A and B are shown apart, each in its own frame.
Chain A
Amino acid sequence: MPPLTQHTLPNGLTILLREVHSAPVISWWLAYRVGSRNEPTGLTGISHWVEHMMFKGTERFPAGALDREIDRAGGQWNAFTSMDATKYFETLPAGKIDIAMQAEADRMTEALFDADETESERTVIISERQGAENQPTFWLGEAVRAAAFRVHGYHHEIIGDETDLRTMTRDDLYGHYRRHYRPANAAAIAVGAFETADMLAKIERLYGGIDGGAAPELFARTEPEQQGERRVVVERPGKTAFFELCHRIPSANHEDWFKLKLLDAILSGSSGASDNKTSRLYQALVKTEIAAGLGGWLTPTVDPYLYSIIVTLRDGRSPKEAETALLDEIRRLQSDGVSEAESQKARKQSRAAFAYSTESVTEQAYGLAQSFILGDARWFDNFTERLMAVTAEDVLEVANRYLLPSKRVTGVLHPTDPEEEAAPA
């Protein structure tokens, strides 16, 4: 891995640079420390909506101008709002990267938030939510998160509640933008074919003059300790049942997170490298024809979150059967531990997964942006090393520390009687 250059401008902007000359391409990212976890009731979804408004133009780059400029250059650009962050990126041929750097500097403070554009975007955002609602699993995920987090901002979906999307005002959005979009709350990341000294000078020239003040106080509420297992049931028209099993786990900066990551690779096989057909849960649920498929999710988050396993039931099988099989496997792991061969396999998978995920400069820059959000610029670089240090004993230890009923939230999606018709119009 080529060296990482870290720098902080006097206005507080964090800079992370990595030269990669394998292709004539640069990926440029701006990451802001604000996401759905920082949204109070009544303003759920505001971070994501602000992200949409950032594509609606500034005086210098009116709406649509950057779409055209970046596509003309053969680039790609997009943005993501997560629970912890809002990230913007452009990946372009190296000789064209200036337009992206100028645009992100401009829209850090100059986005217009035109009133008509805001209203037009309201229906687009509601349409995005309604599109997600068409998937039964969206309802299950929303209900499980709401059950798991009573106080903390992780309790609502990133898209927000429809009632808030209908009532939020242009001034709410603009206020959120002005409060959080400032150098001291952001990082600029570049990975690709450039010279570090030149890139640093260019960043200082474009971003050094932006005076946004101190980093904002982020809205955040601590989730109290869970008192016993929680269960939710969702019913939606359809034919397929789902079962979700979650356990409360620490943040991505806690040493146990990496132990849990290896545990997940052994249990569900979700290493990001290969398929999961030799994993314990595939063998126990899919091979036995209880489930049609399953996956484990361990999202790296700023605050303690959830380790989630989602099972798609086969026709005629019940969520209870999935729950019993899952808990049996967890109990087996808690009592018998894992073999050295299993942990060795998981470590090799993690090495392969890292190799695959670093092929493109866009993926590498994403990793650095995520590291900044987690508060450790080398989190991504050290990922494999920290995972390789996890032992079979560590896996047993965290299985007994976290996979407990008192930290558990379960969700069931029951399909209800569909009345379907199909007819020519």
Chain B
Amino acid sequence: MTDIQASIPNSGNITRAQLENGVTLLAYENPAVLSVNVMGSLHAGGIYEAPEQSGLASLAAGALMTGTASRDFDAIHGALEDVGADLGFRGHMHKVGFAGKALAEDLSLLLHVASDALRNPVFPAEHVERLRGERLTWLQYSSFDTRYRAAKAMREALYPETHPYHYGSYGDEESIAGISVDDLRQFHAERFGPRGMILVIVGAVAASEAVSLATAAFGDWRNCEQSAIRQAREPGAGADELRRAVVVPGKTQSDISMGAIGPARRADDYVAAQLANSVLGEFGMMGRIGKSVREEKGLAYYAYSRVGGGHGPDPWTISAGVNPDNVELAIGSIVEEIERLTSETVTDEDLADNQSYFTGRMPLRLESNEGIASNIHSMESFDLGMDYLAHYEDMIYRITKDDLLRAARHYLRPERMVVAVAGPVGSDS
């Protein structure tokens, strides 16, 4: 089978089932492998936290597998590790996501452990304390990571304190220390439920069997306390403070994080913004920024840009790691490229290159169970339709140079970019 179209997941080969309790199941058979992957999400992310409890959703997600009503910590992990299976839950800004994998013969076990962890966690105090300690260690370590500190400073300048995106999904040392077991239990009771949950299964299991096993694991889940789904609002006025410097002692390199409010995944100009971003800091080894900052000036090992594109107004970011003496030169070069992108249309060649890049990489994105599951999950989560990938090429080639310019101008204003630099003394000039 070497026909690209035939290998693309679409409404004809994805089995989609809606359970009465609100869970959406999606199954895709991949007979070329020996394993199976599951991927899913629920509306229980950081946007449901109070600012002073930043990190609550993430801690709750991390603690799901520390004990349930019928399995203790060792029983949960023993069940998975005995068969080489893996399962993890992670709190994001809007959702809690989960991902797991197993040999195909162990799919039923994987689904039942996932179901048990989601539905019946007891948040044992001893294990919550241990997890809290691990998170605090990670936060302390990260506080000396220049890349983390630059990104955090940029995010905090870009979004006001009243907006959930101001806060990191892992919280901070103070907020994590203040979250109680009762807080976790209450958050779980109010936020974790079947309504709006997505579960994708991809691998060496017939789609009908996968749906049947998933229905057995999740079909009887009910939570009448589950509260309504919330959307993140626009952050409002632009940042007051455009430049931030964080001194991290003992470092030899400075990290730069520049940002602007970017498009949500469902925005009409999201794909045009993605293409514009590719021109700016991705295509051909990090785009125009990579060419200028890395290849021509030799200032950085890495310099690239990225559009977030989640459920809300994620940032459009540019990142680079440079010698402290070269910070201003690198920032100046990046700003020049943003000015160019927002003042003139890209060339015909730029557009053709990037359209070809976007459509050509499809087979590689669909090479593994995980890649297929991720794409199917996105199609469902962002309501793109199950034939989104089948129509992807047509959609990309309908986008024009003017669309790219409009999207770039809509989100990027060179004089209003937030710039954060983290590094040794002097790197902020």
Which residues of A pack against B, CB within 8 Å? 20-25, 55, 63-64, 67-68, 71-76, 91, 93-94, 96, 119-128, 130-131, 133-136, 193, 236-240, 269, 271, 273-279, 286-287, 289, 292-293, 312-315, 345, 348-353, 355-356, 358-362, 416, 418-425
Interface residues of B in 1-49 (CB under 8 A from A): 1-4, 7, 30, 32-35
In contact, B82 and A348 (Cβ under 8 angstroms): yes
Given known contacts A68-B284, A93-B4, A278-B74, is B323 in contact with A123 (CB within 8 Å)? yes
Least CB separation from A235: chain B residue: B250
Which residues from chain A contact B86 at a C-beta distance below 8 Å?
Answer: 273-275
Partner among A126, A349, A359, A424 whose Cβ is within 8 Å of the Cβ of B245: A424
- The contact sample of 16 A-B pairs, CB cut-off 8 A, is A74-B358, A74-B364, A131-B302, A133-B252, A134-B251, A134-B252, A275-B86, A277-B73, A278-B74, A278-B77, A292-B133, A352-B84, A355-B34, A359-B370, A420-B143, A420-B247
Which residues from chain A contact B134 at a C-beta distance below 8 Å?
Answer: 286, 292-293, 314
Q: How far is the CB of B272 from chain A (nearest CB, A)?
A: 18
Q: Does B52 make an interface contact (CB < 8 A)? A: no
Q: Which of B208-216, B258-266, B288-296, B409-417 interfaces with chain A?
A: B288-296
CA distance A55 to B286 in the complex (A): 14
CA distance A209 to B362 in the complex (A): 35
In contact, B84 and A274 (Cβ under 8 angstroms): yes
CA distance A127 to B429 in the complex (A): 18
In contact, A277 and B301 (Cβ under 8 angstroms): no
Q: How far is the CB of A138 from chain B (nearest CB, A)?
A: 10
Main secondary structure of the interface of B (DSSP, over half): mixed
In contact, A124 and B3 (Cβ under 8 angstroms): no
In contact, B284 and A64 (Cβ under 8 angstroms): yes
Partner among A20, A23, A236, A352 whose Cβ is within 8 Å of the Cβ of B366: A23
Partner among B30, B358, B360 whose Cβ is within 8 Å of the Cβ of A93: B360
Which residues from chain B contact A193 at a C-beta distance below 8 Å?
Answer: 2
Least CB separation from A353: chain B residue: B84
In contact, B141 and A239 (Cβ under 8 angstroms): yes
In contact, B141 and A238 (Cβ under 8 angstroms): yes
In contact, A351 and B253 (Cβ under 8 angstroms): no
Which residues from chain B contact A55 at a C-beta distance below 8 Å?
Answer: 285
In contact, B428 and A425 (Cβ under 8 angstroms): yes
In contact, B291 and A64 (Cβ under 8 angstroms): yes
A-B CB pair tally, cutoff 8 Å: 233
Partner among B33, B88, B299 whose Cβ is within 8 Å of the Cβ of A355: B33
Which residues of B pack against A, CB within 8 Å? 1-4, 7, 30, 32-35, 73-74, 77-78, 80-86, 88, 101-103, 130, 133-134, 136-138, 140-141, 143-147, 153, 241, 243-253, 255, 283-285, 291, 294-302, 321-323, 353, 356-364, 366-370, 421, 428-429
In contact, A421 and B247 (Cβ under 8 angstroms): yes
Partner among B243, B298, B301 whose Cβ is within 8 Å of the Cβ of A425: B243
In contact, B248 and A420 (Cβ under 8 angstroms): yes
Partner among B249, B253, B358 whose Cβ is within 8 Å of the Cβ of A237: B249
Partner among B85, B144, B364 whose Cβ is within 8 Å of the Cβ of A76: B364
Least CB separation from B296: chain A residue: A120
CA distance A286 to B77 in the complex (A): 14
Least CB separation from B246: chain A residue: A422
Which residues from chain A contact B429 at a C-beta distance below 8 Å?
Answer: 425
Q: How far is the CB of B282 from chain A (nearest CB, A)?
A: 9
In contact, A278 and B367 (Cβ under 8 angstroms): no
Q: How far is the CB of B427 from chain A (nearest CB, A)?
A: 10
In contact, A96 and B360 (Cβ under 8 angstroms): yes
Least CB separation from B66: chain A residue: A277
Least CB separation from B300: chain A residue: A127
CA distance A75 to B360 in the complex (A): 7
Known: A93-B4, A123-B298, A356-B35. 19 other contacts (CB 8 A): A24-B4, A24-B7, A71-B357, A93-B360, A127-B253, A127-B323, A130-B323, A131-B301, A239-B144, A240-B140, A276-B81, A287-B130, A312-B141, A314-B134, A315-B140, A352-B103, A358-B33, A359-B35, A420-B143
In contact, B360 and A24 (Cβ under 8 angstroms): no
In contact, A127 and B84 (Cβ under 8 angstroms): no
Which residues from chain A contact B283 at a C-beta distance below 8 Å?
Answer: 68, 71
Q: How far is the CB of B159 from chain A (nearest CB, A)?
A: 17
CA distance A206 to B321 in the complex (A): 39
